[in-house]
Structure 1
């Protein structure tokens, strides 16, 4: 499902998964930390769709940071 910005709910879900790790561990974080977490998720996965999703999420965060 796509929203008005062309972002899928899966993209939001993967970002949420990365953020949830920080919240669960009660650690503070910034957008860069989320990108690093997404990179780790991507590195551990053999699922090509998940890897593509992580790349898209990292690009989105990079755009928001700059």
Structure 2
């Protein structure tokens, strides 16, 4: 990524923040405040069954 143009990095950043906002992980692309995420029980069960502790910790991050 260091060799990417600044404009490319900015577009990628904007796309990532828009995706996070649309998915409900952040409250907006300007404030970037973390939102509480509610995981469906089957998703949690699946991740627990397959020892995906890192993924669960990432989902459970709070501000």
Work out which structure has the larger RCO, using CA pairs closer than 8 Å and 6 or more positions apart in sequence: 1
Larger Rg: 2
TM-score greater than 0.5 by the shorter chain? no
- The structure that is helix-richer by fraction is 1
